[in-house]
């Protein structure tokens, strides 16, 4: 395309338009700056001088003079909460709620922010009241989720279950921890020997499990329900059901077989089928070796068949899966038997007690379960981590077995 000289006319015109636009923007900025209250600049000055209390007072005054600065308060409150300065965050959001002219949308937002302040500060009663107040507002879903967290922290399982039902009415999403809430109710009922209540809770746990199976349920939930059903069957005097539930763990959730090994063998022993129980556990151990199963099988063989078969199993198991914890369990069982005569490769007069003491001292750190979320370590297996309150984050194996 050829250049036309008359196009040069547009060059000064474009410069003129840019100059006019810049002047308009500058005048607008100057006008807005002049309209800002002095308290705004005082608040900024206090904030820069690390005087947050006086800065808050100044910004509160700004909010009274100019309602459009409420966003400044929300920003300050969130900042204080992230820094852990909960008293200041609460004060900011309470000052907003104290305003009679605050729009409804901002009031709901301030109420939600204040509820989060209370929750992070550990003021659970006040947090619960604050979240209850906004359940019908646009923050209903996060409010109900927060209430579920609060009820979990308080171990108030019935209210946690009700909160989950409210959440399911708002959003169609799975709530995996509902199974554990029902299991906690069942465990509490079993502890009180309230068998009808335990049975009802386990029925509800089954219903929750059925919903999860179509959405990718977990082996941990399946295992826990089966274990509690076995405990209920034992109290009801139905050993056949108890045995069936315990053996089902080995198939539906094989990683958790170590948690039921001792009870399974004890149930077989009460039914007069201990040999069958030992055979079942030995076969299971070939596919899913674990320290708990190792100890149960060794003790069972030692008591029923004697020294040589037990140590034959132990040597083969430790060769296949070397473990200091396994050796510690073996020595513990051998010492409990009261026989250290020196058979099967043990030196005559060997001080097994001293040997076990030396080993046990060095493996205590490895004889723990560990949360894969927060790393909290515990000697006992937990379905819910005591450290971070996460569910199903403990592997059913000790730290040594995970390495």
Helix (H, G, I), strand (E, B) or coil at 18: helix
Q: Is the pLDDT of residue 124 over 50?
A: yes
- pLDDT 10s digits, 202-225: 999 999 998 887 665 688 999 999
- Note the pLDDT of residue 37: 55
Half-sphere exposure of 325 (CA within 13 A, CB side): 22
* pLDDT band at 347; cut points 50, 70, 90: very low
Mean pLDDT of 87-95: 88
| Residue with token string 């359940």 | 135
- Note the pLDDT of residue 20: 55
Please tell me the pTM assigned to this model.
0.76
Q: What are phi and psi of 273, to 5 degrees?
A: -125, 45
Q: Is the separation of the CB atoms in 137 and 131 below 8 Å?
A: no
- Note the pLDDT of residue 31: 43
Closest CA to 160 of 145, 171, 140, 142: 145
Mean pLDDT of 138-155: 92
- Note the pLDDT of residue 78: 82
Mean pLDDT of 158-178: 89
Angle between helices 177-191 and 195-213 (to 10 degrees): 170
Helix (H) or strand (E) segment spanning residue 369:
strand 369-370
Q: Is the pLDDT of residue 55 over 80?
A: no
Q: Is the separation of the CB atoms in 41 and 59 below 8 Å?
A: no
């Amino acid at each position: 395309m050829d250049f036309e000289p008359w196009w040069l006319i547009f060059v000064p015109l474009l410069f003129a338009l840019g100059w006019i636009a810049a002047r308009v923007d500058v005048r607008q900025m100057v006008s807005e700056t002049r309209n800002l209250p002095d308290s705004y600049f005082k608040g900024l000055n206090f904030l820069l001088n690390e005087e947050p209390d006086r800065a808050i007072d100044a910004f509160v005054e700004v909010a009274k003079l100019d309602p459009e600065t409420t966003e400044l308060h929300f920003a300050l409150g969130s900042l204080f909460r992230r820094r852990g300065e909960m008293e200041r965050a609460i004060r900011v959001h309470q000052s907003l709620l104290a305003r009679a002219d605050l729009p409804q949308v901002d009031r709901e937002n301030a109420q939600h922010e204040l509820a989060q302040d209370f929750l992070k500060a550990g003021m659970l009663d006040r947090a619960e009241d604050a979240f209850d107040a906004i359940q019908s507002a646009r923050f209903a879903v996060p409010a109900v989720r927060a209430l579920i967290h609060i009820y979990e922290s308080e171990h108030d399982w019935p209210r946690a279950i009700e909160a989950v039902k409210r959440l399911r009415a708002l959003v169609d999403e799975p709530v995996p921890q509902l199974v554990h809430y029902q299991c906690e109710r069942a465990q509490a009922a079993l502890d009180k020997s309230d068998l009808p209540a335990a049975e009802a809770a386990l029925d509800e746990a089954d219903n929750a499990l059925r919903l999860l199976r179509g959405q990718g349920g977990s082996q941990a939930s399946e295992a826990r329900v089966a274990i509690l059903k076995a405990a209920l069957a034992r109290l009801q005097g139905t050993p056949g059901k108890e045995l069936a539930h315990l053996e089902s763990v080995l198939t539906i959730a094989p990683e958790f077989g170590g948690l039921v090994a001792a009870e399974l063998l004890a149930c077989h022993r009460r039914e007069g089928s201990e040999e069958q129980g030992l055979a079942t556990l030995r076969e299971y151990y070939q596919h899913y070796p674990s320290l708990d199963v190792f100890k149960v099988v060794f003790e069972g063989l030692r008591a029923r068949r004697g020294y040589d078969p037990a140590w034959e199993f132990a040597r083969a198991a430790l060769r296949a899966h070397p473990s200091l914890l396994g050796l510690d369990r073996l020595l513990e069982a051998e010492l409990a038997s009261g026989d250290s005569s020196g058979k099967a490769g043990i030196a005559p007069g060997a001080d097994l007690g001293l040997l076990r003491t030396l080993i046990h001292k060095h493996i205590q750190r490895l004889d723990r379960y560990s949360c894969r979320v927060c790393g909290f370590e515990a000697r006992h297996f937990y379905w819910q981590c005591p450290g971070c309150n996460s569910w199903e984050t403990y592997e059913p194996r000790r730290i040594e077995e995970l390495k």
